[in-house]
Amino acid sequence: MVPWYHSIITKLTVAFIILILVIAGLSVFYTFGATKTALKETTRDELVALASVVATQIDGDILASLQPGDEETPGFIKIRDQLYAMQSSNSEILYLYTMRQTSEGFVFVVDGEYGIINDAAGIGELYETPTDEMETGLTVSVAEKEYMTDQWGTVISGYAPVKNAAGVVTGIVGVDMSAERVIERQDFIGSIIYLIMLIGIGITAVIIGIISKTMIRDIRALNDSAEKISTGDTNVLVTVVRNDEIGELAGSFSRMVSSLKIMMMDEEP
Amino acid sequence: MSEISEKVLALTVQVLGPASRRFLERQTRFHLDGLEFDDLEKEHIPELSKWVGISARLIVDDKQAAMLAEMIKKV
């Protein structure tokens, strides 16, 4: 009896498992990477679309007129309520706000949650870490390429220009989506990919197991016959029937055994 | 060797291997009134087929023996 570590079934199974793991690993690596990139691009497109839609709803003339201390004016309250209503209606949006560019940099004008949460920005509050995309947002709708971390958390943002009645840009609308939500989506898709791969590996392992088992069963049957003949027992029948190379081997072996029997019969007294 | 003998031998070799000639010679000698295998003719086929079916069971399994007998019968 061959030790298990030298058995063909062990070698076949190990070889197939390594093959499956390599193929599955490479597939997961590629698919997950491509999905992550695609998901981020989709999120950026969503942010651009959202910012563009919100920007068309904001009155650029009122926005331009708002100065520090105007937080209680009807104009401010109107825009804030609009922003808050849109923010509340879309669970994907974390923050919605408007900004404008001054000589000091980008400053907040209307924060959609002003008066609702404590750390909402007031008019004229300087945004300390402006990005190139904010500048671009003054001319076209755009989204950040990477996540940004500031005092309000880690987000990915989209911007769109707000124009007044004359078509002049008076500020930008900013839409923030939580990085956690995007990462949650990536993790969900990643889990699905891993699950599919695991099911695939499981099914393949079962198929390999079945094929190996039938192969090894027939090889063992031939081996047993050869063992018997080698010890002088010619009362052997080769019953292995297959259409593959093992079947051919069994056929040749069967003819050899038959001829041996015929010759031994002739020698009998 | 007659044409029939050659055909029967070719078929039998597929099942019983290189010692088929010895096997067939024994069948014709013992069961076909001492006939030499090389002199086999068409009329001997049914009887030979019958005895091959019986004798081959001692060498191969019943299914293969029956199959060989059937193949010889059709020669």
Ordered by start, the domain boundaries in chain B are 3-73
Tell me what pLDDT residue A268 has.
53
Residues of A in contact with B17 (CB under 8 A): 254-259
Question: Residue B30: which residues within 8 A CB-CB, separation 6 or more?
Answer: none
What integer is the mean pLDDT of B8-29? 94
pLDDT for residue B38 is more than 80: yes
Question: Residue A85: which residues within 8 A CB-CB, separation 6 or more?
Answer: none
pLDDT of A120-131, one tens digit each?
899 999 998 899
Predicted confidence band of residue A269 (pLDDT cuts 50, 70, 90): very low
Contact check, Cβ <8 Å, A262/B22? yes
Partner residue facing A255 (CB), from B16, B22, B58: B16
φ and ψ of A165, to 5 deg: -60, -30
Judged by DSSP in three states, B73 sits in: helix
pLDDT of A184-193, one tens digit each?
877 888 888 8
Distance between CA A241 and CA A221 in Å, rounded? Answer: 11
pTM: 0.58
Question: Residue A184: which residues within 8 A CB-CB, separation 6 or more?
Answer: none
Distance between CA A87 and CA A71 in Å, rounded? Answer: 19
Question: Residue B31: which residues within 8 A CB-CB, separation 6 or more?
Answer: B47, B48, B51
Predicted confidence band of residue A173 (pLDDT cuts 50, 70, 90): very high
The ipTM estimated for the assembled molecules is 0.84
Measured at the CA of A189, the angle between CA A186 and CA A192, to 5 degrees, comes to: 150
Contact check, Cβ <8 Å, B16/A259? yes
